[in-house]
Structures are given as C-alpha cells and as structure tokens.
Chain A
Amino acid sequence: MSEMKKTSQAVRRLYGVTALFDRPERLLHAVGEVVKQGIKSYDAYTPYPVHGLDTKMKLKRSMIGAVTLVVGLTGASLLLLFTWWTNSIDYPLVIGGKPLFSWPSYVPLMFEMTVLFGAVSTVTALLVIWLNLPRNSHPLHDTDFMKKVSNDRFGICIEATDPQFDERSVKALLEKLGGASVEAVYYEERELTLRETILDPKFIGAIVVVAVLTSGAAYFGFNKMNLIRPWNSLTVQDKVLPETQSAFYADGFAMRPPVKGTVARGQMPYRYASDIPGAEKYMKNPILPTKHVMELGQRDFNTYCSPCHGYFADGQSRLQGQFPVPPSLHIDSLVTAPDGLYYEVITNGYQGVMPSYERQIPRDERWAIIWYIRALQKAQSPEVANVK
C-alpha cells in the first residue's frame, strides 16, 4: 500500500504528505474538506489545542475519565481494607478506647488515596495507553513540519496508510486548500524496528546500581549509623542494663527494693500457707461464676492443670509414665471438699508432687479455675437437680 523509494543507504518508505497553514481558520477549513473527501488516516497538528477542531475531525469523546473513576475508587477501597487489616486484625491497636475499626478517622486518607490513585493512573494511562508515548522515533520527528507546528504554524498530515492515498492527488488537494510547503515525509524502515526496550543492558545496569545504592544507604542508616557517635544516643544511653552494676547506689543495685510491707497488684498475701484446715475453713470463693469467669477458668485449667489432671480432671494425664499420675478430681472426698482446699493446693502445691502455682496464676484466676473444676465435677456426676 505504501510506495517504496530506493536510496543509496536504506529502504525509505513514505509516511504521508504534510501541509502548513498560517491561520487556524484555514486549517479548520482544510480539515473539513479532507473529511468530505472521505480520507480517514490523517491528523491535524497545532501549537496549542484549537477550538472546534475536534468536532471538525469528528473525534469521539475522550473516555479517559473512566480510568480516573475506577482506579480512584479502588485506591480508597484498598486503603480502607489496609487500615482495617493492620490496625484491627494483624496488630489490634486500641486508640483512645475507640473501636478497633474506627472508619471515620480513615476518611481523610481515603480521600487522599482516591486522588493519588486517580491522578497517577490517569496520567500513566494517558501517556502510555492513549498517546503511546514516550516515542522519539516517529517519522514526523525532526522534520521541518514538526519544527513549524511546534512554533506558530497549523499543519495537517495525510498518511500513506489511507486506502484512498495517492501522493499526487493528495498533494494537489492540499495545495488547492491553500497549504504552504506541501511535502512528502519519508522514514527509514529501520526506524520501525527501533524500540526503546526495557531489556537494554544499560537500563538494567542503572536499575541495579540504584537498587544497590538505596539498599546500601538504608542498611547503613538503620544498622550502622545509629551505632556511631553522636547518633548512637538511642542505643547507648545513661541507664543500667540488666546484669550490670549501678555506680550510683552503694549496694550496686539500680532498682530500689520496695518498702517493707509493699503488696504487688493482684498478689494479696496468703495467710494459710500449708495450713489446709485453716484454708478449708476461712477461704471462700470471692467471685461469681459468670460466663466470663467460666471461660477464664477453662482456659487456665486447660493451660496449667490439664497436662497432669486431664482435660476433664479425671486423671487422664498426658504425662503418663513420666510423672506420678494424680488422682481423679471426681472422687467423693474431693467433690465434697471445700473451695479452700483447692485454693491451698493450687497456691502451695500438694505433698511435694504437685508444684505450686502461686507465681504463674493470679489470685482471681485461681478462683476461676476452681469454678471450672466445680462445673466439671457436676458434669461427671449428673444429678437431676444439676441438669437444668
């Protein structure tokens, strides 16, 4: 379809015929005539967007706004999803007692992300998809025609790919329409295959260098720089680290011993240590068996007691053979035993075989365990009165 022209160096193909006009009105008129002739492959070139040209060229409305809308909304949704996952699922972060997923305070960010995603995607889509740029190897580049339309002339180019194209008649048409410097534009075939490729070793090399430099700088900044004076003030501080001696106090301790009689929170002193009858007589379960307490008791029982006593306190120890097997807690003497006994056994251990749980289990949780054992006992020996 295109004419060939043999030159001394390479095969040159005809791209099209160009013409220049000095006034936008003339261009508009010419475009109108070209359209009337039924020519499809042509384009107008102007130093600034000229009003009315789009309608003359019968161009369809640009639909690029759809990209903005879709990607923009995607940006907002992604942000909402991300904030929800990070602050309420992956690492629940309670701020000011508000719900974990307090979406109103994500609204400003959702807006920002709509704009960011929308703008970046629109510009990228415009350049890469709609305009097929960057491209510096177009046949029209570096022609006198391009130099004129980038300055003060209004040009038209009828392309050789048009089915009606015939160099002579097109030239005649453009000249008739008042076009100046009507010229044919050729390009070398080589230009077609010329591609700016991302596989260019130079390009890849540059990427690698940038990657190495940035990761090196990041590594230095985060792992080395903060160990160098004076930036080490966060790693080297005037404080006594564990297992080191304080030069400040005579006894060498950094922590001051608590005042005599200090009671730590949740560590009420226990008066009946190794005094089973006393504990049985005076210790009463101080908490109520609410649902929460029962669940807490179940959790703690399964954690601390079940390895030896079994999940149902029936002595089905998972340490079978490695440790003395404890008795079932469903024997009559234990079912009837008062809560105080259990409290004493958990707190101080039993007969040197069962260890003390004073350090591991806070006071209230011990009582919760006892509620749970009571429930297990009732479940093991169902009585009509219990099944309600």
Chain B
Amino acid sequence: MSEVSYGEVIDYTKAPPLVQGNPSLATIDDSIARPMEKLPNKKFFMALSITLTMLLIGAVALAYTFYYGIGMWGNNIPVGWAFDITNFVFWIGIGHAGTLISAVLFLFRQRWRTAIARFAEAMTIFAVMCAGLFPLIHLGRPWYAAFIFPVPTQHGVWINWNSPLVWDVFAVSTYFTVSLMFWYIGLIPDLATMRDRTTNKFKKMIYSVLSLGWRFSNKHWQHYEKVYVILAGLATPLVLSVHSIVSFDFAVSILPGWHTTIFPPYFVAGAIFSGFGMVMTVLILVRKIFNLEYIITMDHLDKMAKVTLLVSMMVSYAYLMEPFIAWYSGDPVDWYLVLMRATGHYAVGFWVMVACNVFIPQLFWFRKVRRNVVVLFIISLLINVGMWLERYIIIVTSLYRDFLPSSWHIYVPTITDFGILIGSFGLFFTLVLLFSRALPVIAMSEVKGVTEGAHPSHQIGAEHE
C-alpha cells in the first residue's frame, strides 16, 4: 500500500494532500483514462464472467417467477413481503451513499470527496436500478405496474394519493432521475477530455455526442458550477426524503414493529451506513485493480471509516430505542414482538445483524484498523451482510407474528428467492465493471482542481510573475 509516512512523528496539524505525490495534470488524465484505452486484462474478464453468471442465475429465477407466479417464493400470508422488499430496501439504501458523498459532502466543502464521488454516484444509479426492479418483480405480473402511475384509465379511478406506496414510486423515480442528471452533469467535462484524447473515430463520435460539445469555456464553467451547487442542494434533502418515504411504507401501517415514529431517521441512518459499507467494498477493489492508490488514498478510506463509525452509532441508537419504546408504551403486542425478534425463529439473524452493525464497526475507533485495507475490506463486507439482515428482520419478523395467532406462519426462503437476490448482485457488479471500462471512474476535472497549486495563490507576487 502506498501509505504515506510523515516522518517519525505524525504531524496531525497538517492536512495530508488530497492527491499524493503531486502528479502533473496530464498524468492524472493518463491514469484515469488508462482503463478505457487499454484492452481489459484477464482479471477483468474473469470478474465479468462471474458477475454475468450471477446475472444469469437471477434471470432464470425471474423467468421461473414470471412463468409460475410468485408461488415460487416462500412468501405466504401473513408474510406477504420477504426477500423482494428486503432486497428493494437494501439496494435503495446502498444507493443513498452515492448522493450523500457527492452532494452532502460537496455542500460541506469536504474536498476529499472528489476522488470517490464519481464512483459513488455511479453506484447510486446502479443500486437504484437494482432496487427499482424489486417492486416490479414482487407484483408477479410486472406489466400491471402501469396501474401505479396516474394515467387516465377506462374505469375512471385514479391512484390513491394517500398511499405511501404511491409516494414511494414518485420518490424513487425522482431520486433516480436527479442522481442520473447529477452524475451526467459531472461527467460532461470528462467526456470532453476523452473526446479530445481518443484517436479512435467511433469512440470519438460517441464521446462527442455524450459530451454535448463541451468547450471548457470559463463563461460555461461559471454557470456549470452554479448548477452543480443547486443540484447538490436539491439532492441533499432528496436523499433524506427518499428513505423516509421508503420507511413510510412500513411506519404508516399499523403492524407492531413497523408502526414507529423512529423509522424515518432510523432508515436514513441505515441507508447511509450500508451505502458507505458498499462504497468501501467496491472502492477497495477498484483502487487495487486499476492502481489508483495515489488518488483514492489511505486517508480517503480512513475518513470513510470514520463516517461509517458515526452512522453505525446512530443505527445502534435506533436499535436501542425500538425495544425501549416497545417496553415503555406498555403495549404487550409490541413487547412480544421485541422478544420474538431476539429469541424467536429468526434470532440468529437478529444477533448476526447486531454484531455486524453495532459491535464490529466499533473497531474503527482504532487508527490501525482504519488504515488496514484487508481488515477494512472484511468489515465492509460484514456491514453489507448486517444491513441486508436488518431489513430482512424488520420485514419478516413483524409479519410472521401478526395480530391473529391462527395465521402465524414461518417464512422459509426458496431457491428462487436466493436466485433473484444473487441476480441483483450480478446486475450491480456487471454494471460496475462495465462502467469502470467505459467511463472515467474518477472525476478528472475535479481531481485536477484539488491538486497542489491548482488555484492561483492570492499572493501579490502571483500578479507580477
């Protein structure tokens, strides 16, 4: 690892450089553009074949589902939601870190974000694509999804605007649109750079069309930067609203374990937590594969670990508050559910979730852990596992013990359930791999802007040079 040493004594007063080794601007372009200009190596094709296989498994499982109906899954009343909605909430949660990194950190002027923002935004888009599939899939007859949109129909009824499920559709599609635009706006200058670099006629045509003829003019940059701030300002509350609305899907119902006011902030914190976990997992792989260690430095990973630790504690707070309110409310059904979560049929899942989300991230208190890539990678994987389990526990345990004991039912996932889950991972990683070859994975123009000496110092001498 290209760990920087600041001499014998670590000087904490001096911020480490955002880009290490002070490379020239041209080197930055060269190394970011390299994956797009070289033929991919064997490792890439191996990875791609694995992810495509996963995708294929998912496709087969889906074909099964659409042919035979959702009876292929373990779902049965009262457990009407299980893997499908778990996967939906899981993926949409992962999608939130991207916007958080690119928009929220942008507004807070955390300039270290430049190295990871592009990738995180791309992950957002791919994760939301995965997430968006599940509401469609869980209908069993996906083409009837058209009925959720407010289109005039023969029978004259409009959609019910009071339903959180309708809000959800609007929130997720708005989120997808805005993230896509945010990402694309950021890509335009880099696409123009690629247009001017490439010698291949066909590539040049594509980059020309996509870069819209960007000219790097300062009169353009001026409005461009303004729009970037505006979009960041719009995306920030949007992130919070989207996952709050996702949590309304549960909180607005009257089911014990779902009907709690803590859900919106709890879900938002969980989303950021899982998103950071996933960004870390993917970035650690990418910087290794593409030798981008001097741009995505150890300091970036360190900072991300700190943010993860912070949100882990927010999530833990929610984990504590849930049973407390259940006990304090004196509602026997609520309290029973808390006990069922911790000791019932899904107790193993519950405790694995607590371990992954509450206890293991506490290791990030140690600088040694934060700066050890292997440990970081393992913990980030465990966070993903923990957060997937969290959604699973929330959904299934609330449903399998509902108000009517006669309809209690233990949910057991089937192979098809797992197939679709694997397929969604396949889709996500296939898209990530293709993205890393087709587009600049790091924002060239932004990284150039944070190198040392990128901006004229405001000394008088500079004027007279």
Contact = CB atoms under 8 A, between A and B. Distances in A.
A87 B67 CA distance: 35
B226 interface: yes
B231 interface: yes
A59 interface: yes
A9 interface: no
Interface string A122-149: 1100110011011111101100001101
A65 B212 contact: no
A360 to B, nearest CB: 25
A62 B222 contact: yes
Contacts of A328: none
A136 B208 contact: yes
Given A26-B465, A65-B230, A91-B156, A133 B214 contact: yes
B463 interface: yes
A82 B159 CA distance: 11
B17 interface: no
Interface stretch (B265-273, B369-377, B388-396, B443-451): B443-451
B442 to A, nearest CB: 13
B221 A46 contact: yes
A49 B214 contact: no
Interface string B218-252: 11111111110011001101100100110010000
A22 to B, nearest CB: 10
Contacts of B150: 82, 86
B174 interface: yes
B178 interface: yes
A46 B160 CA distance: 51
B68 interface: yes
Contact of A52 (B25, B216, B455): B455
Given A83-B161, A115-B234, A151-B196, A24 B456 contact: yes
A111 B171 CA distance: 9
A245 B175 CA distance: 53
Interface residues of A, number: 77
A119 B456 contact: no
A150 B216 contact: yes
A329 interface: no
Interface residues of B, number: 78
Contact of A115 (B163, B178, B226, B244): B178
Contacts of B69: 230, 233
A222 B142 CA distance: 11
B244 to A, nearest CB: 8
A54 B227 contact: no
A74 B230 CA distance: 17
A130 B230 CA distance: 15
Given A43-B217, A134-B213, A150-B196, A68 B234 contact: yes
Contact of B241 (A93, A111, A134): A111
B24 interface: yes
B215 A45 contact: yes
Interface string B282-296: 000000000000000
A106 B245 CA distance: 12
Contact of B181 (A53, A62, A120): A120
Interface string B67-94: 1110000000000000000000000000
B215 A98 contact: no
Nearest to B25: A152
A151 B193 contact: yes
A231 B222 CA distance: 55
A120 B217 CA distance: 23
B118 to A, nearest CB: 14
Interface in A53-74: 53-54, 57, 59, 62, 64-65, 68, 72
B227 A141 contact: no
Given A25-B462, A44-B217, A136-B213, A122 B227 contact: yes
A108 B245 contact: yes
B206 to A, nearest CB: 12
A122 to B, nearest CB: 6
A370 B230 CA distance: 68
Given A150-B193, A231-B141, 7 more contacts: A49-B224, A53-B221, A105-B161, A113-B174, A138-B213, A152-B448, A222-B143
12 contacts: A28-B462, A46-B221, A83-B161, A86-B150, A96-B162, A108-B248, A112-B174, A116-B177, A141-B213, A225-B143, A230-B69, A231-B141
Interface of B: 24-26, 29, 66-69, 141, 143, 146, 150, 156-163, 166-167, 170-171, 174, 177-178, 181-182, 185, 189, 192-193, 195-197, 208-209, 212-227, 230-231, 234-235, 237-238, 241, 244-245, 248, 444-446, 448-449, 453-458, 462-463, 465
8 tightest A-B contacts by CB? A152-B25, A86-B158, A48-B449, A134-B212, A44-B218, A62-B226, A49-B221, A51-B455
